């Protein structure tokens, strides 16, 4: 079931998002960034700040009272930004991500928005291809990957974000 997440969900969301993107647990799924980045993908403090911004909506996918998927949706001018799309590593490739993207489109339409946008790390060709299959196209926009104490680049390739967009 997909519903809106609440502040009480932050510990579970933090654990889920970090387990899917970084560290050993993420290697069970195909969306891992462990070969590119060390550190955490997010923190409870960052998630709290996200929840407190009224332009943000976090959706969660729950099964048997456990959060197994999530996505951050941010109202930005004339589009809906899609971020932190996450599925539990053990359940990736089961259609949950596709359902979360579909729900993001429903949310955009509810807000009267006809464009969804996102950024993806440039070297994630398999992930970019997955988004392409779901109607997202490369806009040509690029931005540097942020250097920080949380996102530690361990790749031998320079990282940048590419901008993807989908019209609905």
- The tens place of each residue's pLDDT in the chain, 168 residues long, gives 999 999 999 999 999 998 887 667 667 766 666 566 656 778 999 999 999 999 999 999 999 999 999 999 999 989 999 999 999 989 999 999 999 999 999 999 999 999 999 999 998 899 999 999 999 999 999 998 877 666 666 667 778 999 999 999
Among 3.40.630.30, 1.10.10.60, 3.40.50.300, 3.30.310.50, what is the CATH number of 2-167? 3.40.630.30
CA within 13 Å, CB half, 45: 2
**CB 89, CB 16: distance < 8 Å:** no
**CB 121, CB 158: distance < 8 Å:** no
Nearest Cα residue to 9 out of 72, 97, 74: 72
The residues near 66 (Cβ < 8 Å, ≥ 6 apart) are 12
User: Which pTM value belongs to this model?
Assistant: 0.90
d(CA 30, CA 4): 26
């Amino acid at each position: 079931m997909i519903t809106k997440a609440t502040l009480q969900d932050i510990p579970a969301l933090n654990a889920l998002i970090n387990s899917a993107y970084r560290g050993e647990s993420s290697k069970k799924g195909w969306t891992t960034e462990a070969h590119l980045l060390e550190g955490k993908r997010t923190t409870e403090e960052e998630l709290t700040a996200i929840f407190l911004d009224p332009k943000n909506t976090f959706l969660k996918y729950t099964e048997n009272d456990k959060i197994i998927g999530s996505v951050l949706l941010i109202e930005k001018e004339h589009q809906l930004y899609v971020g932190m799309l996450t599925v539990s590593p053990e359940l990736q490739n089961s259609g949950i991500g596709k359902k979360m993207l579909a729900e993001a489109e429903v949310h955009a339409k509810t807000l009267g928005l006809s464009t969804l946008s996102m950024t993806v790390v440039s070297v994630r060709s398999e992930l970019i291809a997955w988004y392409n299959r779901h109607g997202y196209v490369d806009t040509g926009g690029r931005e540097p990957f942020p250097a920080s104490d949380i996102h530690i680049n361990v790749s031998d390739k320079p990282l940048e974000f590419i901008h993807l967009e989908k019209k609905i």
